[in-house]
Amino acid sequence: IVRTNQSAIHSAWLRAPVLSGNILTRQSATRPADLDAIFRRGLHLSPGDGLVETFTSGEKVPETALRVAAERLKTSGAGEFILFTVLDVTAEQQATARSAYQALHDPLTGLLNRRGLMPALDGFLKGSQPFTLMILDVDRFKLVNDALGHAVGDALLTEISDRLQAILSTGDLLARTGGDEFVILLPGMINPEVAGETARRFTGVLSEPFTIGDRKV
């Protein structure tokens, strides 16, 4: 590394290799291997070629996102250089990830919404794995909303979601597709008796009283 700017020196991701002067030999436990791999690909560009790649940390909403551009330059009399430009695009990537999440999830319960459920359901309809689909709505929910207010109704829906999720198995899907409507997708279940028993488990946990604030619902 023959030249850099102050932003690179102060970056937690770039400081060690920049100060060592060598992007290849200065490995760091705090710098992901995926980012090192992008730099390596940049160093092996052919003359006149370039690359632009985005590195993101593994979370659904990334903690860090960097867009790395590389270009091989030939100067008169000074040899060839690779010019790397690293742009912090964390805010942009986080906004995109949050927007995608919000489009597919119910803001109240965090469950999949109808739009988020449909691709999964479509995949099961096109595949060969058997499954059971249950649609559940909450009796007398409108009465709770009208008598106690929408805040209590929202709290009740959240509690219902929590109770249902607590008895789901790994791989089962739970979605809230309407005001008081939930959809449960159970992969691998085809036996009617087992499905009936599972439905009774769901209704059983919901038949127990709910305490919302100081009210029993």
Q: Which residues are catalytic?
A: 180
Distance CA 176, CA 105 (A): 9
Handedness of CA 144, 145, 151, 157 (dihedral sign): positive
Amino acid in position 37: A
Distance CA 22, CA 4 (A): 12
Distance CA 192, CA 199 (A): 10
Distinct helix (H) and strand (E) counts, the chain: 8, 8
